[in-house]
Amino acid sequence: MIIVTGGCGFIGSAFILDWLAQDREPVLNLDLLTYAGHPGNLRTVESHPGYRFVRGDIADSALVGDLLREHRPRAIVHFAAESHVDRSIAGPDAFIQTNVVGTARLLQAAHGYWSRLPAPEASAFRFLNVSTDEVFGSLGPSEPAFSETHPYQPNSPYSASKASADHFARAWCHTFGLPVITTNCSNNYGPRQFPEKLIPLMIHNALAGQPLPVYGDGRQVRDWLHVGDHCSALRAVLERGRPGETYNIGGRSERTNLEVVHTICRVIDEARPGRSHAALVRHVQDRLGHDRRYAIDDSKIAAELGWKPAVTFEQGIRDTVQWYLANGDWVASVTSGAYRRWVEQQYPALHSAA
């Protein structure tokens, strides 16, 4: 079996759903269920014989050790993380605790388990550390895309905490021999993404007729990766990736934030005719330390593992909008009073104007 950490979150739940749909090994999902962890993401597999959920903290070394000894996984796929840059600026401590301390303790527990495995099982074991391209910092308009050898230059508390986790993962591989592989992905989007991130926030607000807050001039560039493509890349890395290596995973879809928002508006205009949703766009004060551009060079994973993204941005956005249109109950379940208070705190100018 495999253990997935943070499997009730956006990417983790997509990975588990895809994994079980392909009749692969059983999955144990270890998740603390913080605000962005939603058990409803996995409701369709709750009764699946190959799925088990344990509520717990990756920083709880005793719990993790017990689970490893009991279930003897052949891999750990580590998604669990605080991941929203805005929240890391408002409150860095949770990011340090989960992303840094939690990852270090998880690595320690994994090493203790792995070091006692018989040689064939130890050789086959993998620790897959799922990370972000934000650890590389920001690019200028004409600079080449991030490669795996690009220096780490994190600029936010979030990216600094993930960079630290990556360094611990590398250290446990180099010093202790733990067979770690790290992946650095670009911006994910797709179904079940918590609506604090750009794409689901814009969809949610547009459908509600609310302002669409765009930071600064909206010309920050990101590479957009459909979560289904990300999951297929992770499976390839888990199956064929080399321990000690890192692999960049991108969507080959660089867009400015403003282009993304206007694309969403056009799709919603078609689905809900009668108004121009782009008229709801409001430029707000830019985020502190906002990175200007990310771009991914995915030539290594393409050459070594034969992987490339399959979902175009245009099709992915249409599918994502349709999912949110068809799943209003899910959206209602995550946009609680706490969520509304966060949005009001994050975009005060919009709400004071209202």
SS3 label, residue 4:
strand
Q: At what angle do helices 313-326 and 198-207 cross, to 10 degrees?
A: 50
Q: According to DSSP H, which parts of 118-217 are helical?
A: 119-124, 157-176, 198-207
CA–CA gap between residue 292 and residue 246 (Å, rounded): 24
For residue 38 the two structure tokens come to 């939603």
Looking at residue 343, its amino acid is V
For residue 55 the two structure tokens come to 């509520």
- Write down the catalytic residue from 51, 158, 189, 294: 158
In this structure, the dihedral spanned by the alpha carbons of residues 163, 168, 169 and 170, taken in order and rounded to 10 degrees, is 90
- Write down the catalytic residue from 134, 223, 229, 291: 134
Question: What CA–CA distances, in Å, run from 143 to 154, 167, 205, 293?
Answer: 17, 25, 34, 9
For residue 158, indicate whether it is catalytic: yes
Burial 204-229 (b: 16+ CB within 10 A, else e): bbbbeebbbbbbeebebbbbbbbbbb
Burial 86-115 (b: 16+ CB within 10 A, else e): bbbbeebeebbebbbbbbbbbbbbbbbbbe
Q: Quickly tell me which residue has 């983790």 as its tokens.
A: 12
- Write down the catalytic residue from 31, 57, 82, 133: 133
For residue 114 the two structure tokens come to 């792995």
* Catalytic residue positions, numbered: 133-134, 158
